[in-house]
Structure 1
């Protein structure tokens, strides 16, 4: 940009160098993003440090971002209100007789949970408390129990409603309704891949299996679970048919979860309600703090035209849609190892979007490649938040669960590759159900 003291290259070195240096010193990600901005704000005479606060708080002036705490609250109300317990019972009736029955239930519950909460960290925390100790008692290896719990939790950001989809749609101006529909097939295929992985493990290690549930037991468990299973239908259906926005759907999800917990299942009291609100406050504060500082970081990138400088170099490679898709996935897979998904969308998504457009990728297809790739970062060190949560609950080191985690990621990578090569995996349902979302 004309009149700046620093060139785009110098500014990029200061921003990214400062950020990664602070990460190496174990400074929290959100704080590292903010502090990395300060040197430039002090060096550049046209800027001043208050820009950091100004841009951080500007990011919070977003109606769409209100959906983040509401979906987190929905997940916590599910856990304290008995909704999760009903879904566990139904999952066990459906797949408990498969090899590795309890681990299969773990995956299926994550699919159901993903359709309600939209938060992988909430999923990892609740599932770890439910399944890790139970799998230990049934003879499962600790590393396997931690790995499948953490890996299945990432489904919450792929299967709608997803917090990442809401942030992506708001930041990069993509239809959230289209993203909700686009995430269904990739999410279900990844869930099936995880169930297949459990099957192989169970056969090789002789993990236990439950007796097959009778049709009567399946029907009974379904009946008590129907009110909970209606939640994703209400949320996604309401968004698709235009009854309410993404933020309004999150509010309705909270009201519906509270209604089920208090009136239908009658398992929530004042103490558990307080726990749900306090946990939501902590998780939402962390997520939104990342959004604010990442937005300030992204604003400085735009100020120096750094995305355009990076884009010119990559466009010169003249890659086609498939090669560009693999390049985008590779960038997000690497970035996800070090950076939380929300700031990665704000910073890296904005840089890669022009490259995707130049290569002819549909914005919804590009979004799903990015979101699925970033989901891997939730279980890959050094960030790997879901893996860290599961290991903390199991009281074991991350390194001890890493081998099984990496093995479980291989079939998921195959689904990601199929998503890149076959765009209709993401675009088919939006095209069939609501073509206007793709315009």
Structure 2
């Protein structure tokens, strides 16, 4: 940048060099992003260390980010209020008789929970405590149990209301209502792919099944679970039809979940309510701190016009729409292995967005390719936060579960390719309900 002491190349070497060294030294991602900015802020005479604080707190000046803790609180209230238990009973009555019944229930419950929480880490933490001990007790291999629990938890960032969709929409000014609609069909397809993988595993290894539930049992648990299943419709419908903003929908979801837990199911205790608030604070602080430091990192990238330098080279490739989709997926798949999804959206998403626009890619299609690709990073080392959570709860080494995880990711890759090659997988529902959301 004219008048700057460092060139774009020098600044990028310092930023990414310090960041990856810090990551190699096992510094948490949010702190690594902040530390990477410090040398430049000290070297560059026009900047100061106060810039880090200023840009970090500027990122929090966003009404839409309030939705993050509210969606997490909704999920925690449902866990403490017995709502998750009822959804598990419904899942058992639906798919318990399939091969690998308990693992099938694991996937279906993750699907239901995804429509409520929006957080894969919250899903991985709660589901691991429930399903990993239960599956190993029934004779399931520990590697398979950890793999299916962690992999199914990524549905929470693909199926609305997803925290990643909220962050993406807020940072890259994409319609969050359109993203909510765009995630429904890919979410169904990925859940079906996971259930198909469980079916093949169960047949090959002789995993147990449950007796088929009667229609009466299925209807009974469906009726009991209807109040809980209504939550996603309130959140998504309210946003899509313009009744309220994402933040307002998150607040309404908290009130609704609280009312169900306290007055309808009557299972949450004062201690459970306190635990829900505490867990929400822990998860939200981690996610939002990443947003702040990643924004400061991204601000320095923009200051030195590093994205323009990168795009100048890639733009010369003259990629087709399919090739651009594959390129975007490849970048996010690699970045997701090393970086949390939220800072990846803020840093990488802003770099790639102009390139996708020049290729004629719809912003909603671009967002869904990015979000689904980043979902893989939640279960792929060295980052793989959901996989690390499941391994920690199961007390197994990461190396012991890599094989089953990679096998389960293959059908998900097929769904990702379908999303890239056929944009209508993601754009059909937004174009059907509210065409004005799209280009």
Give the TM-score category using the shorter length. over 0.9
TM-score norm. by structure 2 comes to 1.00
> What runs of 5+ residues in structure 1 fail to find an aligned partner?
none
- Give the total of aligned pairs: 439
For residue 225 of structure 1, report the CA deviation from its aligned partner. Answer: 0.3
User: SS of the counterpart of 2:383?
Assistant: coil
User: SS of the counterpart of 2:425?
Assistant: helix
User: SS of the counterpart of 2:223?
Assistant: helix
For residue 39 of structure 1, report the CA deviation from its aligned partner. Answer: 0.4
Please give the per-residue CA displacement for 1:150-186, whole angstroms capped at 9, x wherever unaligned. 0000000000000000000000000000000000001
Aligned to 1:430: 430
TM-score norm. by structure 1 comes to 1.00
1:322-401 superposed matches below 5 A: 322-401=322-401
For residue 391 of structure 1, report the CA deviation from its aligned partner. Answer: 0.6
Aligned to 1:90: 90
In structure 2, what is the Cα distance between the partners aligned to 1:194 and 1:424?
Answer: 22
For residue 78 of structure 1, report the CA deviation from its aligned partner. Answer: 1.1
Aligned to 1:48: 48
In structure 2, what is the Cα distance between the partners aligned to 1:40 and 1:393?
Answer: 40
For residue 137 of structure 1, report the CA deviation from its aligned partner. Answer: 1.0
For residue 437 of structure 1, report the CA deviation from its aligned partner. Answer: 1.3
In structure 2, what is the Cα distance between the partners aligned to 1:394 and 1:75?
Answer: 22
Aligned to 2:125: 125
1:20-419 superposed matches below 5 A: 20-419=20-419
Please give the per-residue CA displacement for 1:243-266, whole angstroms capped at 9, x wherever unaligned. 100111111111111111111111
User: SS of the counterpart of 1:329?
Assistant: helix
In structure 2, what is the Cα distance between the partners aligned to 1:388 and 1:308?
Answer: 35
> What runs of 5+ residues in structure 2 fail to find an aligned partner?
none
In structure 2, what is the Cα distance between the partners aligned to 1:23 and 1:237?
Answer: 40
Please give the per-residue CA displacement for 1:41-82, whole angstroms capped at 9, x wherever unaligned. 011111011000000000000001000111111111111110
In structure 2, what is the Cα distance between the partners aligned to 1:323 and 1:280?
Answer: 40
In structure 2, what is the Cα distance between the partners aligned to 1:240 and 1:287?
Answer: 25
In structure 2, what is the Cα distance between the partners aligned to 1:386 and 1:380?
Answer: 9
In structure 1, what is the Cα distance between the partners aligned to 2:248 and 2:130?
Answer: 30
RMSD: 0.5
For residue 193 of structure 1, report the CA deviation from its aligned partner. Answer: 0.1
For residue 359 of structure 1, report the CA deviation from its aligned partner. Answer: 1.0
For residue 358 of structure 1, report the CA deviation from its aligned partner. Answer: 1.2
In structure 2, what is the Cα distance between the partners aligned to 1:162 and 1:432?
Answer: 21
In structure 1, what is the Cα distance between the partners aligned to 2:27 and 2:119?
Answer: 23
For residue 3 of structure 1, report the CA deviation from its aligned partner. Answer: 0.4
